[in-house]
Structure 1
Amino acid sequence: MEFSSRSGSDGSDCNDLTVSTTLQSVAFGAEPQLILLPVPASVESWWLTAVALGGQGRYAQARAALDVVDRRTAGPVTDYERRYASLAASTRASFRRQTGWHAKAALDDGRALAIVAGLDSSPSVDAAVCDALTGLAADALGVGRLSLGWRLLAECGERIGGSSPEGLWRQSIRLEWVSAELALASGDFNRALRHADTAVELSGDCGSVRHKVKSDLLHCAAMTGFDASEAAQRARAVFDQCMTFGLLPLAWASSMLIEGVTGTTATPNSSVLDTAIAIGGGVFRSPS
């Protein structure tokens, strides 16, 4: 894991707020391509580090950061620590899901939901619950249980509706992502496009490059049911953005869409990106 030791003008180490702000910018902001990360200290900063590394396809290092969160939240913990234990489990599940391990991901997402079960509702707790619910819905999609996926998303939507919306921007976007994916899996391109459009709208002002790029990619996928040529052209623009910002998992997904629609390959192609992700510790599940 590569970390920088950033210091203030007086030679002292930057405080936790500065570290958290930088990591927020990589994980959920405008600098997803930043390779040299500040040294994490708090449970929150270790989780943000894992998210940042996972977005770049550095899965082995990301899992190591999640291991630190797990160790620091083991045993008797505060509600604050339980929330990050839950977020870490959901994040671990997302890494499994991105490489095709949906059934295993469901175990992590189920654990994430169980960890925060019984906690009083608050924006931070609702965020963790919604991450687990959307994760479980995506896991259900991956094993063909679409009805279960929709039920889980409905529960997530109710949770978002009863909480502070500005605090759950990420969860609101993820809800639209998985809704679009479920609609695509059932062949309902109209519904998929509606959800993808909403995701694009929500992500437009969120400040997160990664969320904007993935929303654009889902919009391209939904467009394949109407204008495959236009969808492929837009997917190439998304692919270029992914490569510019070092978002290898999303670049791989973009390349798969381009290749599936056009029969031609992106550069680098999906096989090259497979190898790059494998070098980073991602293990793709072989089709059964």
Structure 2
Amino acid sequence: MGECADVQAIHAMWREAVEQGGIGHTAGAFAILEEVARSGRRFGAPALESLALSTRASLLRQAGRHRDAAAIDGRALLVVSPTPPSSTAARRVTHRAAVLDAIVGLAADHLGQLHLDATRRLLARARSVVDVDDAGWPAGRRPRLRIEWVSAELAMYSDDAAAALEHAERGLHLCAIADTPRRHRVKTELVAAAAHAAAGQSQVAARAAAKVTDDARAGGLLPLEWAALALRHGLDPADHDVSAALLRARRLLTGHGVPFTDGRTAGG
């Protein structure tokens, strides 16, 4: 009973780190993730240690540090066994979630470095692992949604606007269920806006990105607000209000510990 309670407490810490990262408090998220990884090792919970590493990698990836993120996602995949545990159903779900987070994270890391073939291979691997019949969020719809995000971005980088729109639409469909977290809904709408931009539908993209900006701001999702502003700036560099808001958002994120690079970012 005590061991189960310990693992639950570690899982709760990981969720708190995810929330902190989602609102842009990256330094705080990093500190919590360090403790999650240590505790996962101490209590024999490799899936939670792996999730902590993958989450750290995702925060680095958001800042444009795809190579650094790839190294950490690689460690996350090594930490967790490819064979699911034979214990409780909850542990099997956490295990599958950890494996998929690492694989999809690696796909996004390679996309950000323009390693498109590697991204395709990793996405195919993720699709072979994900349980399409799992209607739950942690290891069912969540990883499937992340696969659609990265698939849409890969299609954009491959100049396949039709495929990007198709993957974005699949993502929106996965978000239609009520228990989908707000952050994932907003991110999916952002991916869809980018897909419309890639398809040359600039006005549709601009309206969608403006809505994402408002939704992200209302939810305190500063990283997504910044990303939506960046998309709008790309669509209309002459919009000085957007440029100023983009600069403010970046300064706030930097103050919260986001280790930005000056490179182009991609991946989800």
* TM-score strictly above 0.5: yes
Partner of residue 107 from structure 1, selected from 63, 71, 79: 71
Aligned position for 1:200: 172
Aligned position for 1:176: 148
Relative to total residues, which structure has the larger helix share, 1 or 2?
2
What is the deviation of 1:185? 1.1
| Aligned mates of 2:134, 2:228 — CA distance in 1 | 33
Is the 1:123–1:164 Cα contact (8 Å) retained in structure 2? no
Partner of residue 234 from structure 1, selected from 169, 191, 208: 208
| Aligned mates of 2:203, 2:144 — CA distance in 1 | 29
2:147 counterpart of 1:147? no
Q: Which amino acid aligns with 1:194?
A: E
Is the 1:101–1:285 Cα contact (8 Å) retained in structure 2? yes
Unaligned runs of 5+ in 1: 1-15, 18-40
What secondary structure sits across from 2:130 in the alignment?
helix
| Aligned mates of 2:236, 2:132 — CA distance in 1 | 43
Aligned position for 1:159: 129
What secondary structure sits across from 2:242 in the alignment?
coil
| Aligned mates of 1:201, 1:165 — CA distance in 2 | 13
- Aligned residue runs from structure 1 range 17-32, under 5 A: none
Q: 1:27-60 deviations in whole A, cap 9, x for unaligned?
A: xxxxxxxxxxxxxx81111101100000000000
| Aligned mates of 2:132, 2:162 — CA distance in 1 | 28
| Aligned mates of 1:119, 1:154 — CA distance in 2 | 18
Aligned position for 2:57: 93
Larger mean CA deviation between 149-158 and 224-233 belongs to 224-233
What secondary structure sits across from 1:278 in the alignment?
helix
Is the 1:126–1:163 Cα contact (8 Å) retained in structure 2? no
Structure with the bigger RCO (C-alpha within 8 Å, sep 6+) is 2
Q: Which amino acid aligns with 2:10?
A: V
- Aligned residue runs from structure 1 range 1-288, under 5 A: 42-75=9-42, 77-78=43-44, 81-120=45-84, 122-161=92-131, 164-166=134-136, 167-205=139-177, 206-224=179-197, 225-263=199-237, 264=239, 265-266=241-242, 269-287=245-263
What is the deviation of 1:267? 7.6
Is the 1:123–1:163 Cα contact (8 Å) retained in structure 2? no
Is the 1:243–1:251 Cα contact (8 Å) retained in structure 2? yes
What secondary structure sits across from 1:74 in the alignment?
helix
What secondary structure sits across from 2:151 in the alignment?
helix
* CA-atom RMSD in angstroms: 2.1
| Aligned mates of 2:175, 2:226 — CA distance in 1 | 21
| Aligned mates of 1:120, 1:163 — CA distance in 2 | 17
Identity percentage of aligned residues: 36
Residue-pair matches, total: 248
Aligned position for 1:22: none
Q: TM-score, normalised by structure 2?
A: 0.87
| Aligned mates of 1:195, 1:56 — CA distance in 2 | 26
Q: 1:101-160 deviations in whole A, cap 9, x for unaligned?
A: 000000110011111124326332111111001100000001110110011011101111
Is the 1:66–1:92 Cα contact (8 Å) retained in structure 2? yes
Q: Which amino acid aligns with 1:238?
A: V
Is the 2:38–2:49 Cα contact (8 Å) retained in structure 1? no
What is the deviation of 1:162? 6.7
Larger mean CA deviation between 216-225 and 161-170 belongs to 161-170
Is the 1:133–1:156 Cα contact (8 Å) retained in structure 2? yes
Is the 2:134–2:141 Cα contact (8 Å) retained in structure 1? no
What is the deviation of 1:287? 3.2
Name segments (4+ residues, structure 1) moved above 4 Å: none
Unaligned runs of 5+ in 2: 86-91
| Aligned mates of 1:193, 1:156 — CA distance in 2 | 20
What is the deviation of 1:186? 1.3
